[in-house]
Structure 1
Amino acid sequence: MAKVLIVAEHLDGKLNAATAKCVSAAQALSPEAIDIVVLAADPAAVAAEAAQIAGVARVLAVANDANTHAIAQVLAPQVAKLAESYSHVFGPSTTFGKDVMPCVAALLGTAQVSDVMAVEGSHVFKRPIYAGNAIVTVEAPAGHVVVATVRTASWPEAARGGSAAVETVSVEAATPSHTRYVGLAAGKSDRPDLQSARRVVSGGRGVGSKENFEIIYKFADKLGAAVGASRAAVDAGYVPNELQVGQTGKIIAPDLYVAIGISGAIQHLTGIKDAGTIVAINKDAEAAIFEIADIGLVGDLFKVLPELEAALA
């Protein structure tokens, strides 16, 4: 019988929604138990939030000053030590999970299963390959703890309303001294987080310049949406790369995705194919984005967006 440990992702004392999506993936195993581990300097608030996720049996709160910042080389030895009591260890396929989980797999001497989008059995999973153009079935090695990242765009958030027990635990694991936190360079924004936002407005090469991208920000604010961008827009220097959506950026699944001036390269489409409703605005009627869009509007974005804003007002 499977027993799953989920590594919680959190920031500034708040649990990331990706953790609840990992719980959904774990539930597909019909496991004996699902536990969540919260590693932080003070895990109390995050652990209390994690305990409310339905289907979770226990939340393990690991308090350690070394866990103040999410450094993979520091967190992984602790997770690997806890993993000895579990059959599966899941983490989200986010920047955090992609950093931590391979280190956990290496310490456990096993291969990681990446981007799990469906569970076929205790050791059999489906994941995308070739930029999402094909789905492959993979089998994790028997006799080893299964370490996997969960493709968050493919799973819903598990319901709230749970009341899991929160247990304070200590982990005796050697952490490296040669890896240390120096600083964090991150953009500040009052807009919703791109990976968890329910509405996203993205701009592409068609926006034309960094200055012109203000029209995208303005329209996103009107919708209360996060802002994203195509790789072409990022490469052109219109926006920083943390806004990039696609196979080499962030893979997202918002309820509403508005693609403005984006032609629809395959690597971009891979990052948005699980979105609820896709709206495309492009002056090129032959743009590939229209092939997957639920709603398409052919027109000049600099004329269309002001009209849409006026209609929304």
Structure 2
Amino acid sequence: MAASKITKDVFGTLPDGRKVERIVLRGDGGFEARIITHGAVLQALITPDAKGGYDDVVLGHDAFAGYLTERKFFGATVGRYANRIAKGRFSLDGETVQLAVNNGPNALHGGLDGFDRKLWEIAEIDEGAEPAVTLTYVSPHGEEHYPGRLGVRLTYRITGPTELSLTMEARTDRPTIVNLTNHSFFNLEGATAGTPILDHKLTVAAEHFLAIDPTAIPLPEPPRSVAGTPFDFRDAKAVGARIRESDQQLQNGRGYDHTYCLGRDGKLALAARLEAPRSGRIMELLTDHPGLQVYSGNYLDGTISGKGGKLIRQSDAICLEPHIWPDAPNRPDFPSPRLAPGEVYRHHTVYRFSVRSP
């Protein structure tokens, strides 16, 4: 009998007694995506290497306690608004909304108790040719001071032998803003390899990026050209090739922590490619969203341990987060995050894995 493409078990328990479930989706060979209902987290992603082995390539924790005690967004679904909003304040239809300020002077990743801290419901499990799990969360009007009751539906699906697709939809009962993303930290040498990602080769399909101030809010200027700067990844370059150059933008971000402007126009297309030199793993990221946050793990400081008990240090992983641009509610020149009743917010991202040819 063929092994099931989907299994489910209990990963942990919240302090109030509610169970956190884990769903395992299986593709070809040993390819697996493991999702937990707390934060709709991608807890593990098992992918092949060039020698035929398999390893987990996303940072996180082996046990649920780690996700409760430290809020580092490992693999989490981030919302209502991914990235930053300046001073936690924006206007919507003439009304001023003041959010909690939780990142210096700004609001970050949905506030003090964002979607990454919520227990999502399992709405559907599909054991067909493309195994999938659909999770839902309803954010009430006023949660974290965001207007509108927002219903979110998220599906993780194995869409190829070594391909994971993530789709998100959201609907509201009154005008609001929404900007969702997955916040996985990738190391294609393996989550417990203990080697930084500075020698990973990165390609980003963008000619412009958003320059930021020292609090990581985009400057009041148009997107800057990557040409002639350390931010030019139009051709594959090692992440660490220019990360220590004397550049004001690198200083402001303490490395790479910047949005690349993709110009998707709602169409799924290649945004980035990442390749590890030793394992030979390659990840292609496709998205239909207009921005890609490239974050080189600058604030990982060795104060917490992850899988295998390994301390997690600066540049131990890289995040590639597709989303609408940061502070867009305050920037009419940016893609709009506004969602009105009757409209549907949609987000589609694909993580496609392969290995380098011998």
Which structure has more relative contact order (CA 8 Å, sep 6+)? It is 2
Question: What TM-score results when the alignment is normalised by the length of structure 1?
Answer: 0.26
Q: Which has the higher strand share?
A: 2
Question: What TM-score results when the alignment is normalised by the length of structure 2?
Answer: 0.24
Q: Which has the higher helix share?
A: 1
